[in-house]
Amino acid sequence: MTNHHFCRDICIDRGEPLPGSGVAANRYALLHWPRRHWRVPRTQSAEMPVDLSDAIVKANEAGVHVALVDGDDIALSVDGKVLPVASHELAAEHLLHIASSGTLDGKPDTRITILCCTDSKQDPCCAKYGFSTWKALKEKADPTKFRVLQSTHLGGCRFAATLIVLPARQRYGRLEPQAVPAFLEALSNGTPFFPAYRGNPMLDEARQVAEHAAFTYADGDGVREVALQESPERSRDPEKNAEFIAVMSSRRLRIRLARHSFEVNTRCDTITRGSSQAADRWQVVAVEPID
C-alpha cells in the first residue's frame, strides 16, 4: 500500500475545494449488515436474500439512500426511528413501505447518527482514511449522544474520510482523526463543523459555497443563521461568476464567487487507468464587509 496513489491525496494537491459538494439524499435508511459481508454493488452483499436486495433497489429508485451499516445491532433505522430486531423478510417489507413514502413504525432514537464510509470494497481511500476516522469517532463519541456507524459507499471517495450526519443530512469530507473532538463538540452545539463541512444540502452549489464562506468569516461570533440574497450587480457571465449578499444579524457581507475547472479522479482505480475528468466548482474570490 506504500506505493499506492490515493485519489483523495491527488485531489487535495490539485486544490479541489470541499464546499459546494453537500448535496444529499432526501431520506436515509440504515440496514445493519456485517462489514465483512459488504460487496459492490451492496445489493449483492454476501448472504443477502433476493427479496431484500430487490427492496433496496426499490428504495433507492424512490430517492431513499439505503446504506449498509455496522457498529451496533439495530436492524433497521429511518428518520430517527429504529427497529432493534427484524428478520430479512421484515426488513424488506419495511423498505418497500418506505419506498412508497411510508414511515418506519419503530422506537424513537434522539441521538445524532454519524455515518463514516469505510467501504474498502468501493475504494482504498475509504479503507485508509475512513477507518482511522471511524476508530477515533468510536473512541471519542459519547454513545448516549451519538450513534457512530461504519457505512457502505456514501459518495465522494476522493473526499475521504466521508461522513453523513443524520438527521441534519450534513455531509463532511477529509475529516482527520485529530479533528474528531472538535467535530463532536460542534455537533453537540447544534452547528456544522465548518473545516470539513461540504455545504448545506438545502442549497444549490453556489449558495452552499457562499453560506460556508459567510459562516467561516464570522467564526467565533456565535452566528447561527445566514440569509443569502443575490447581489443586484448582475454578473456579465453568470455561468462563471456569482455574487451574493450575506446577512448575519446586523452584519452584511458581499461574497464574490468564480467557477473554476479542476481535474479530478473520482476513485483510485481511475488513476491507473488514466481516466481523470474535469469538474467545474465554485470558489470564493472575495468576502467583503458592507456595513
Sequence letter at residue 235: S
Final residue in a domain of this structure, among 196, 219, 234 = 196
3-state helix, strand and coil shares in percent for the chain, rounded to the nearest 5 = 30, 25, 40
Burial class (CB in 10 A: 0-12, 13-18, 19+), 80: middle
Judge if 211 and 186 occupy the same domain.
no
Give Cα separations from 114 to 71, 207, 237, 275 (angstroms).
Answer: 11, 24, 39, 32
If one counts the domains in the chain, the total is 2
For residue range 25-54, what is the model confidence (pLDDT) as tens digits? 999 999 999 999 999 999 999 999 999 999
Judge if 214 and 188 occupy the same domain.
no
111 near 144, Cβ under 8 Å? yes
Judge if 92 and 228 occupy the same domain.
no
Q: What is the mean pLDDT of residues 116-135?
A: 90
In this predicted structure, what is the pLDDT of residue 236? 65
> To the nearest whole number, what is the mean pLDDT of the chain?
92
Judge if 92 and 121 occupy the same domain.
yes
CA–CA distance, 118 with 134 (Å, rounded to integer) = 8
Q: Give the confidence band of 121 by pLDDT, cuts at 50, 70, 90.
A: confident
In a domain, 223, yes or no: yes
For residue range 134-180, what is the model confidence (pLDDT) as tens digits? 999 999 999 999 999 999 999 888 898 999 999 999 999 999 999 99
Judge if 68 and 180 occupy the same domain.
yes
Q: Record the cell numbers describing residue 59, joined without a space.
A: 428504495
CA–CA distance, 232 with 238 (Å, rounded to integer) = 13
In a domain, 29, yes or no: yes
Q: Record the cell numbers describing residue 227, joined without a space.
A: 440569509
Residue 109 has pLDDT above 60, yes or no: yes
Judge if 183 and 217 occupy the same domain.
no
Q: Record the cell numbers describing residue 102, joined without a space.
A: 411510508
DSSP assignment of 261-283: EEEE-SSTHHHHHT--EEEEEEE
Domain that holds residue 116: 7-196
CA–CA distance, 271 with 2 (Å, rounded to integer) = 15
14 near 266, Cβ under 8 Å? no
Q: What is the mean pLDDT of residues 224-232?
A: 86
Judge if 190 and 214 occupy the same domain.
no
The CATH number covering residue 54 comes to 3.40.30.10
Q: What is the mean pLDDT of residues 67-71?
A: 97
For residue range 235-286, what is the model confidence (pLDDT) as tens digits? 567 789 999 999 988 789 999 999 999 988 777 777 777 777 888 999 999 9
Judge if 163 and 213 occupy the same domain.
no
- Which residue in 116, 224, 124 sits closest to 171, CA to CA? 116
Judge if 74 and 217 occupy the same domain.
no
In a domain, 102, yes or no: yes
Rounded percentage of the chain residues whose pLDDT exceeds 90: 75
241 near 259, Cβ under 8 Å? yes
In a domain, 168, yes or no: yes
Helix (H, G, I), strand (E, B) or coil at 207: helix
Judge if 60 and 146 occupy the same domain.
yes
In a domain, 57, yes or no: yes
In a domain, 1, yes or no: no
Q: Quick one: CA dihedral 200, 206, 209, 214, positive or negative?
A: negative
In a domain, 134, yes or no: yes
Final residue in a domain of this structure, among 168, 196, 224 = 196
Give Cα separations from 178 to 48, 87, 140, 146, 156 (angstroms).
Answer: 36, 38, 11, 18, 21
Judge if 118 and 250 occupy the same domain.
no
Final residue in a domain of this structure, among 166, 196, 226 = 196
In a domain, 48, yes or no: yes
Judge if 52 and 157 occupy the same domain.
yes
Residue 104 has pLDDT above 90, yes or no: yes
Give the pTM.
0.94
- Which residue in 258, 242, 260, 189 sits closest to 220, CA to CA? 189
